[in-house]
């Protein structure tokens, strides 16, 4: 009976998924919710539960990025992912067009919702990207340079931050830049099958 209630919902979404697949996703969602939220409310997945799913199903490892993916899924900012958000997010994850993925990745990478990825944010995302060198200062220096390199490559309008237009242009030139600040989509191995 629960299923039937929700079947109506996804119809309002623009997805690339067939109806049967939506049903399937919802079934998975409910089973996950049941498993995760025995103690809590029954509305959806909280951050920890979602991160566990990202890790176990999609092979993600970076805590910070998983948080960001969670925020990108959680459109209504209620710290909980409901069925609609789940189906919408996963449709991008699994069957997303290039444009959808582009948008999704950009959303993951900018946090403070000003529509730009700032230099500080880049630094934050890249700060673990270098293997530990001799001193912390040196590593910091290295990351700063890496941030500069990234900005040089992606900041086309030279305003010191990356707008969606910048991002879009850069990724269209070089697809490898789609997940430039860390993996936030299911692995390529899964994709190409």
Partner 1 sequence: MKEDTSVVNILDKITKDEDPESEIKMKLGKLLKQLDLHLLNRSLKHISLEICLNPTIVKNDIELLKHFSGKGEQTVLESIDYTSDYEFSNGCRAPPWRQIHGEICYVLVKPHDVEALCITCSAEGVFLNGGKTDDEGEINYERKSEIYKDLVTFLKEKSAKFSENMSKQDVRFSEEWKKEKEEPKEAPKKEEAAAPHKALPASGKSMLEKNQINFGRSQMTKRLEPSLNWKATVDFKEHKSLLRDTQEEKHGGRLERSGPPVSPGRAQLVRKSAEKIEEMISESSSESEEDEEPPDHRQEANADLPSEYWQIQKLVKYLKGGNQTATVIALCSMKDFNLAQETCQLAIRDVGGLEVLINLLDTDEVKCKIGSLKILKEISHNPQIRRNIVDLGGLPILVNILDSPHKSLKCLAAETIANVAKFRRARRAVRHHGGITKLVALLDCAQNSEPAQSSLYDARDVEVARCGALALWSCSKSYANKEAIRKAGGIPLLAGLLKTSHENMLIPVVGTLQECASEENYRAAIKAERIIENLVKNLNSENEQLQEHCAMAIYQCAEDKETRDLVRLHGGLKPLASLLNNTDNKERLAAVTGAIWKCSISKENVTKFREYKAIETLVGLLTDQPEEVLVNVVGALGECCQEYENRVLVRKCGGIQPLVNLLVGINQTLLVNVTKAVGACAVEPESMMIIDRLDGVRLLWSLLKNPHPDVKASAAWALCPCIQNAKDAGEMVRSFVGGLELVVNLLKSDNKEVLASVCAAITNIAKDQENLAVITDHGVVPLLSKLANTNNDKLRRHLAEAISRCCMWGRNRVTFGEYKAVAPLVRYLRSNDANVHRATAQALYQLSEDADNCITMHENGAVKLLLDMVGSPDQDLQEAAAGCISNIRRLALATEKARYT
List residues binding partner 1 (CB under 8 A): 125-126, 128-131, 133, 142, 145-146, 149-150, 152-153, 174, 176-177, 179-183, 187-189, 192-193
Nearer of residues 78 and 187 to partner 1, judged by Cβ: 187
Q: Taking the CA atoms of the chain, what radius of gyration do you get in angstroms?
A: 18
Task: Kindly tell me which of 80 and 180 has the beta carbon lying closer to partner 1.
Answer: 180
Inter-helix orientation angle 98-109/83-95, to 10°: 120
**Between 38 and 176, CB nearer to partner 1:** 176
> What's the closest the beta carbon of residue 91 comes to partner 1, in angstroms?
19
Element (H, E) at 23: helix 19-36
Instruction: Give me the least distance between CB of 185 and partner 1, in Å please.
Output: 11
Classify residue 129 by its DSSP letter: S
Task: At 109, give phi and psi (nearest 5°).
Answer: -80, -25
Looking at the Cβ atoms of 75 and 127, the one nearer to partner 1 is 127
Number of other CB atoms surrounding residue 189 within 10 Å: 8
The residue among 14 and 193 lying less far from partner 1, judged by its C-beta, is 193
Residue 188 Cβ vs partner 1, minimum distance, rounded to whole Å:
4
CB of 23: closest distance to partner 1 in angstroms?
24
Tokens 């270098």 sit on residue: 130
Could you give the 3-state DSSP secondary structure of residue 180? coil
Q: Quick check: helix, strand or coil at residue 59?
A: coil
Backbone dihedral angles phi then psi of residue 131, each to the nearest 5 degrees: -65, 145
């Amino acid at each position: 009976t629960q299923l039937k209630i929700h079947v109506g919902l996804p119809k309002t979404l623009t997805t690339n998924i067939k109806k049967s697949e939506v049903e399937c996703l919802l079934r998975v969602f409910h089973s996950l919710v049941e498993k995760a939220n025995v103690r809590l409310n029954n509305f959806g997945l909280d951050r920890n539960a979602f991160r566990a799913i990202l890790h176990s199903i999609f092979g993600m490892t970076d805590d910070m990025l998983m948080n960001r993916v969670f925020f990108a899924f959680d459109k209504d900012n209620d710290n909980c992912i409901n069925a609609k958000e789940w189906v919408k997010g996963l449709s991008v994850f699994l069957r997303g067009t290039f444009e959808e993925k582009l948008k999704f990745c950009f959303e993951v990478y900018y946090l403070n919702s000003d529509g730009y990825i700032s230099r500080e944010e880049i630094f934050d995302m890249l700060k673990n990207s270098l293997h530990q060198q001799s001193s912390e200062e040196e590593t910091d220096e290295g990351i700063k340079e890496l941030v500069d390199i990234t900005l040089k490559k992606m900041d086309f309008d030279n305003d010191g931050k990356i707008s969606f237009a910048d991002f879009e242009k850069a990724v269209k030139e070089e697809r490898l830049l789609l997940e430039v600040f860390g993996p936030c989509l299911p692995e390529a191995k899964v994709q190409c099958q």
